[in-house]
Structure 1
Amino acid sequence: MKKTLVGLLCALFVLLYANAFAQESKNQFDPKKLQLNYEVTDGKYQDKPQTLAVLTLTNNGNVPLPASGWTLYFHSFPALKPIAENAPVKVEHVNGDLRYLVPTDAFKELAPGASQRIELLSGGQVVNDSRTPHGFYLVWDNDKSKGYATAPISVKKPDQPWVDWVQAKDIYAQNKVITDIPEEKLTKVFPTPAVYHETGQPFTMTATVPIVTDAAFLREADLLADHFGTVFGKKPVISMLGTGKAIRLQQKKGMGPEAYELQVSPQEVVIAASTPAGAFYGTQSLKTLIPAAALAKNQTSVSLPGVRVSDAPRFGHRAFMMDVSRNFQSKEQVLKVLDMMALYKLNVLHFHLNDDEGWRLEIPGLPELTEVGGKRGHTLDEKNHLQPSLGSGPDANKTSGSGHYTKADYIEILKYATERHIKVIPEIETPGHARAAIKSMDARYARLMQEGKPEEAKRYLLRDLEDQSVYRSVQNWNDNVINVALPSTYTFLEKVVDEILAMYQEAGAPIQTIHMGGDEVPNGVWEKSPAVNALMAANPTIKGKYDLWDYYFGKVNDMLNARKLYLSGWEEIGLTRVEQNGKKVYVPNQDFKGKNFHVDVWNNLWGAEDLAYRMANAGYKVVLTNASNLYLDLTYQKAYEEPGLYWAGYLDLDKPFYFIPFDYMKNQKVDTNNDPINPAVVYKGKERLTAFGRSNIVGLQAPLWSEMIKTPERLEYMLLPKLLGLAERAWAPDPAWATEPNAAKGEAAYNQAWSAFVNVLGKRELPRLSHYAGGFQYRIPTAGAVVENGRVLANVQLPGFTIRYTTDGTEPGEKSPVYTGPISDKGEIKLKVFSPTGRSGRVVTVVNKAS
């Protein structure tokens, strides 16, 4: 009886509580009903480089948005401020790109259906929506621990011409130099091999043709068989002995470490190499001989063109840098990228695993690194996860800002890469860009202090608890730099490095270096740190920030050397600041120049155009990572609809392709605003590469920073086809146009090479990538178009892709007319480029006025 009564009381309580909650929910405003609209109204406000915009809040719900009692968080770079003196809101900065607006006394209750306009001013000009505030979520004052996402913000494209956005006629002019080359005349191996001949005698491959391999190349043979299995639906047999028709992998002494020979004749395909890496690249070239259409569905046979190839790479370091710290990508996506890298003979994955916004690798013994540093969401204290960044939203479990690789994941990635002859260089970004690590170790400290373990709590602490230094990083953080004076900093680094090395050992993966970052440490750090003051008191030679820099990287270098590793980092690890002609300038640090530091030099702008050459000439090993030509996260074009950043300019497919590694200043064509330049004038007096410096250029690298990359589709869009320009430049021999002294002849040779390159991509490699490794969502170019003599002329960057058009104002589709020649129709002509598989790019509109 007593149990029955208790049960009834409990049921009544639940019913009453549920009813009260439902009533409360019914009467409380639903944040998802808050519609936000953003429109730039003046991109050159007061004739200055600043932007005036209107943010409109509209209540699409059934209950009012209160006049107070809430805060609206959002992400924006740069800062925004209300322009009106009696504005309805005020805007405050939290940290990084996170800001919030709160209602002032001027804000009135927003009734259902009502709107509130807010004029906001920001510095700089808007070229695309990368500067649009985003990631809005609402927090109620009565429970500040929870955030609720609003409706997605709606952004209206500006209609004022304060930016010289790229026009269809500009694209048409760029494409005019491209010649359509018949596919049978194209080189069938990509990247372009050193020696290539076609014999006209093809080899017919079927699933019954065996792969006969020397024992040294069994793994390479198995991967090749796997690929043929996707073509035929059945994997060819692999054997170590056999006569007759076959694909043969043969070991041949005396060839280079990545060199190979490939001969395709009617009776056999022979790949010869001295090393497994060379044999592997021979198999990758063989794969590019397979017609792209053969990957669309299972085949009974494929015809491989008869060729003789003798090939080796130009550079030994051919790298793609993948940033998974700002926004995370799954293990499966990393494996897919590795497949694509291997196909195009890229052999280094520079893995950017931590930054201010995230720590992505499990480190046994330091669970907070991923439990706290691997997640982002709304928080008051960051004890359980980091604050939102880059529009990641309030929910730590539903965002591209959260995620990490377990130890098992990373070992799987390492094994996968090693099988494909790709070295994975892990980057542990320090001492700046380290906020995720710092906050994680703060959480560890708090936990262990609560457990009464003060000594253990301090063991891996990365900041001086008494530090009063004031600074602000380029990305607007005020707490993202590790304190280099703390012994616990080096204990932490040793722990992380040793755990990473254990993963490589378990995976059987090679590792020669760890990238330790060194990028963008702001002024003001360490100036008011008691730990730093104590270190300087004990070491009179340490007098300031730059001496501390040398102290830090000297210790890090010693730590890595003790583990038989060399130090890699961004250029700053090898720079120091001195006074020249009354100005503070950065110069190569003489203390480190002979210590095998490998530096990724990104800055070739703003007076540092020759920095990579100066560092190479000084004795540093340099990986050319030039922002102007190789930063894949830069937007393709100066078009509002194109995603990406543009602080270092605009990076279309041609920028990596026309990069000249040993004389890159010779062929720079535009500045960061896309305005033409005269290299002879702009680079006058800059240091050129010496013969000694040339020996220190070890390779090329294209990074893809992920601030704006929240999905695999966006990653692939920004990655491809641009990365193929890097692949060509890193592998293929030095092109004739790069060294041609006669400008006119050099330009003609370049245009011919550019035409061949885009024809190969448009007719062979991008159609292949539509299916390869599950298919890639590469960018489809926009059509070029111009009106001449009353007719619309159009062209495309990638021959082999199709332009379709409409004349009735509708958007072109797969059944719209194909552009085959000038269009005489009058009025509004819409054009769109389609890939061979039917995916399409952006619409271009031109108006052919009636005569």
Structure 2
Amino acid sequence: MSYRLDLAVIEQQAQQSRFSLTLHNLTDQALDNWSLHFTIGRWIQPDSLAHGKLEQLGSYCILQPGSNQPLAPNSHFYTEFVCGTAPFTLFDDGIPDAFLSTEATGSYITPIPVEVTTIDLQQPPQERFTTQLPPAKAINLIPAPDALQQLEGVYALNRHSAIAEPCDAAMGSCRWLQTELSSLLHEDMPIKQAGNIAYQFNDQLAEGEYKLIVEAENIWLQAGSAAGFTHATSTLLQLIPTKPSHQVQAAYQIPMVEVHDAPHYHYRGMMLDCARHFHPIERLKFLIDHLARYKFNTFHWHLTDDEGWRIEIDAYPELTRIGAWRGPNEAIVPQFSTISQRYGGFYSKQEIRDFISYAQDRGIMVIPEIDMPGHCRAAIRSLPDLLVDPEDQSRYRSIQNYPDNILSPAIKGTYTFIANVLDEVCELFPSPYIHVGGDEVPEGVWTDSPGCQALMEEHGYQDPKELQGHILRFAEQHLQAKGRRMMGWEEATHGDKVSKNSMIFSWQSEKAGLECAKAGYDVIMTPAQYTYLDMAQGFSAEEPGVDWARKLPLDDVYTYQPLAELPSSDPAHQHVKGIQCALWCELVNSQSRFEYMLYPRLLAVAEISWTAPNKRNWQDFKARLNGQLAYLDKAGINYRHCE
């Protein structure tokens, strides 16, 4: 590589750190009229720069030397700067990508590659965090079932097996099982009138409850609901060994068991951020297979954000023509990684319909998230004539370092946009819930807008936060008219305008969820300190991920129990409807890292969501996890090894 970029820690304090940045010209040619383009996940204080001039938008920085002096051959440019941040402890805190440009400002950019070295953290190395796993058990179901009895003998699954024609409630589960068994046996699994794998409707079993009976000649999957049949199917799939028996020709020997089981929480979800980095449909389907296998029932699809708009909207083709792409020569500037290229993608309506159908067969409800009024930069840049208030002179900076990513409550276009987008989203997604975000609206927004000030006076609002509630109440009422229930992050309650019918996701802390539950909101608990799977899984600098909430090893994920310190008699417990984990993807841009961040922690979330606290046991879980690793290996999943 002809150019190299080094970042090093110089000094660290509790909430402020100083860094050195060195650009090396390793060629024998001078570099004229240059600017350095790079990304970093923290805000660089512009006036702290020792040499040069810096512009930053989101994570994207453009550094100019401050003079027209060329960067001489075999020389370097050096500067220092300050970030108001806690000390860096991870290599991922450094600069993930960079390139050079020699074009004048505003010209078409032709990126020049730069090698980015690993950040020098100026700290002693720490050992990799490990979790010692005991020997696997004979049967290793995750999540742990309510009641399991192992019997003597096995059922031989082979090419003579067949699925009996299912009842209506089991049709989706039957298609899923047929797909899995056909792949396993390398031939089509038939469905016959008298098959020996039978779905039986049992109206004595509650929603989600199931019984699974494996006998020597037959397998019985019993439930009184489509969800129950899905759960029975997932248990059966886990009972199938990873290899066929050598004693019985081409047969997978399934242990004879009786299982009776039901979920502790009705809502068991995972959120995936597809806006920061785009994840192709096949990756999502592979994930859905495993969410179903471990008895999740909800996929929360984060489709829009500042860095990308990923859903096709007929009313506004610009959202995907412009908003789905970023790059050095795009309307949306680069962010995070691959910054020298045009990057992006979106899901067509047909892809979304097919994906929803695929998930439904596996018992997974797909909930879309269309973020508002914050995290809207991709939409605003795509539709400036509709969404920009030219009279608004407010100055703010969002937590992700954007000064222009908030919808205005003072212009008609905002409400036209919200209504048209939500209409198409409701037509596309059958889910009774639509998530609208509502988080991270910064201080300073709307304060220097004549239209916003007039709106506040008209409605008697005293705090600009009430304008956030004003927009979200419009969205809620629009969704209610379509028979849908609004979901939002905990900040959706700011301004006290949305009704208690809205369901709230508490992400900043356990306390936030408790406050919302006590206020009468139904709550999904997703505190970052226990359920955000983009957090690093250990304490060594090599661990991928972030740590703004904490380092989050597998051991700590498993300890989570919502409102554990609250007396069981407290009515707030009745408002906790479930648990959700999240994978935010600022740093997740490959299948390998995607899987590494999820597994095996996803299995711990599965158990804390499904299994009653008094049935959970850490030592037992570790043994069952050890038994699951052979399947993860067979599936080719790049999980983090525990030991």
TM-score, with normalisation over the residues of structure 1?
0.71
Are 2:429 and 1:481 equivalent residues in the alignment? no
Change (3 A) 1:487 1:100: same
Out of 600, 614, 618, the residue aligned to residue 754 of structure 1 is: 618
Residue 413 (structure 2) pairs with residue 466 (structure 1):
no
CA distance in structure 1 between the aligned counterparts of 2:198 and 2:299, rounded to whole angstroms = 29
Residues 629-688 of structure 1 show CA distances to partners (whole Å, capped at 9, x for unaligned) of 00100111121101111010011112221111241xx4xxxxxxxxxxxxxxxxxxxx77
CA contact (8 A) 1:82 1:119 kept: no
The 3-state SS of whatever aligns with 2:63 is strand
Structure 1 residue 215 and structure 2 residue 190: aligned? Answer: no
1:137-172 alpha-carbon deviations (Å, 9 max, x no partner): 2222347321404233011554534xxx6436xx47
| 1:374/1:385 contact within 8 Å kept | no
> In the TM superposition, what are the counterparts of 1:322-341 in structure 2 within 5 Å?
322-341=272-291
Structure 1 residue aligned with 2:468 = 549
Structure 2 stretches lacking a partner, 5+ long: none
Partner of 2:27: 61
Counterpart in the other structure of 1:153: 116
Query: Secondary structure of the equivalent of 2:152?
Result: coil
Q: Over residues 188-228 of structure 1, what are the superposed CA-to-partner deviations in whole Å (9 max), with x where a residue is unaligned?
A: 32211111111122111111111113332244223212211
Look up the match of 1:227: 180
What are the within-5 Å matches in structure 2 for residues 378-457 of structure 1? 378-379=328-329, 384-396=330-342, 399=343, 402-442=344-384, 445=385
- Paired amino acid for 1:525: V
The structure with the largest alpha-carbon Rg is: 1
CA RMSD in angstroms, aligned pairs only: 2.5
Q: Do the aligned partners of 1:319 and 1:350 also contact (CA within 8 Å) in 2?
A: yes
> Is contact 2:532–2:581 with CA below 8 Å preserved after alignment?
yes
Equivalence map 1:255-334=2 (5 Å): 255-294=205-244, 300-334=250-284
Residue 136 (str. 1) matches residue 98 (str. 2)? yes
Whole-Å Cα distance in 2 between the matches of residues 48 and 653 of structure 1? 27
Change (3 A) 1:276 1:202: same
Deviation string 1:757-783 (CA, Å, 9 cap, x unpaired) is 1221122x23212233xx3211123xx
Question: In 1, Cα distance between the equivalents of 2:48 and 2:547?
Answer: 30
Q: Which runs of 4+ in 1 moved over 6 A?
A: 81-85
Alignment of 1:344-363 (within 5 A): 344-363=294-313
Give, as a single letter, the amino acid of the residue that structure 1 aligns with 2:618. Answer: W
Q: Quick check: 1:612 aligned with 2:504?
A: no
1:463 CA displacement: 2.6
Match of 2:508 among 587, 598, 603: 603
Whether the aligned pair in 1 keeps the contact of 2:103 and 2:109 (CA below 8 Å) is no
Looking at structure 2, the residues matched to 403 and 281 of structure 1 have their Cα atoms a distance apart, in angstroms, of: 33
The partner residue of 2:192 within 231, 239, 243 is: 239
**Residue 292 of structure 1: SS of its match in structure 2?**
coil
SS at match of 1:202: strand
CA distance in 2, matches of 1:82, 1:93: 8
Shift of 1:317: 0.7
Distance 1:564 1:522, change over 3 A: same
**8 Å contact from structure 2 (residues 210, 231) kept in 1:** yes
Q: Which residue of the partner structure matches residue 72 of structure 1?
A: 36
Tell me which of 511, 535, 541 is aligned to 1:634.
535
Secondary structure of the structure 1 residue equivalent to 2:37: strand
Q: Residues of 2 paired with 1:658 and 1:426: CA distance?
A: 29
Secondary structure of 1:428's counterpart equals: strand
Report SS of the residue matched to 2:422: helix
**What are the residue-to-residue correspondences of 1:710-789 with 2, within 5 Å?**
710-735=589-614, 753-763=617-627, 765-772=628-635, 775-781=636-642
Contact 1:207 1:228 in 2 (8 A): no
Q: Is the 8 A contact 1:630 1:655 kept in 2?
A: no
Whether the 8 Å contact between 2:273 and 2:585 is mirrored in structure 1 is yes
CA distance in 2, matches of 1:769, 1:351: 24
1:106 Cα deviation from its structure 2 partner: 9.2
Moved more, 70-79 or 51-60: 51-60
Q: Supply the distance in 1 between the matched residues of 2:417 and 2:18 (Cα, whole angstroms).
A: 46
Contact map agreement 1:628 1:649 (CA 8 A) in 2: yes
Looking at structure 1, the residues matched to 465 and 413 of structure 2 have their Cα atoms a distance apart, in angstroms, of: 21
Preserved CA contact (<8 Å) 1:43 1:126: no
Q: Which amino acid aligns with 1:415?
A: S
User: In 2, Cα distance between the equivalents of 1:315 and 1:84?
Assistant: 50
1:238-257 C-alpha deviation (Å, 9 max, x unpaired):
11335xxx211111112112
CA distance in 2, matches of 1:545, 1:283: 50
| Match of residue 135 from structure 2 | 181
Contact 1:518 1:572 in 2 (8 A): yes
**Deviation for aligned residue 1:268:** 1.1
State the alpha-carbon separation in 2 of the partners of residues 413 and 149 from structure 1: 39
The question of whether the paired residues in 1 share the 8 Å contact of 2:52 and 2:79 is answered with no
Provide the identity percentage: 30
Q: One-letter code of the match for 1:597?
A: S
What are the within-5 Å matches in structure 2 for residues 513-524 of structure 1?
513-524=433-444
Q: Deviations over 1:457-505 (max 9, x none)?
A: xxxx22311101111111111101001222221111111111122223x
Which residue does the alignment assign to 1:801? Answer: none
SS in 2 for 1:568: strand
User: Secondary structure, in 3 states, of the residue corresponding to 2:141?
Assistant: coil
Q: CA deviation at 1:35?
A: 2.0
CA distance in 2, matches of 1:56, 1:114: 10
1: CA distance, partners of 2:307 / 2:226:
39
Deviation per residue, 1:781-801 (Å, 9 max, x gap) = 3xxxxxxxxxxxxxx3xxxxx
Mapped partners of 2:395, 2:84: distance in 1: 23
The separation in 2 between residues aligned to 1:123 and 1:615, in whole angstroms, is: 31
Matches within 5 A, 1:495-514: 495-504=420-429, 510-514=430-434
Q: Which amino acid aligns with 2:573?
A: R
Query: What CA distance in whole angstroms lies between the structure 1 residues aligned with 2:558 and 2:311?
Result: 34
Counterpart position of 2:8: 39
Structure 1 720/714 Cα, relative in aligned 2: closer, same or farther at 3 Å? same
Q: Deviations over 1:337-396 (max 9, x none)?
A: 1111111111111111111111111101211101111000114xxxx5311112341321
| Aligned counterparts of 2:592 and 2:431: Cα–Cα separation in 1 | 30
| Equivalent runs, 1:664-683 vs 2, <5 Å | 666=565
Rate the CA distance shift 1:385–1:330 in 2: closer, same or farther, 3 A: farther
Contact 2:466 2:494 in 1 (8 A): no
Distance (Å, rounded) in 2 between the aligned partners of 1:274 and 1:53? 61
Task: Check 1:497–1:531 CA distance in 2 against 1; reply closer, same or farther (3 A cut).
Answer: same
How many Å separate the matches in 1 of 2:48 and 2:171?
72
Secondary structure, aligned partner of 1:199: strand
Within the alignment, does 1:254 sit opposite 2:204 as a pair? yes
| Mapped contact 2:38–2:61 kept (Cα < 8 A) | yes
Give the direction of change, closer, same or farther, for the CA distance of 1:287–1:149 in structure 2 (3 Å limit): farther
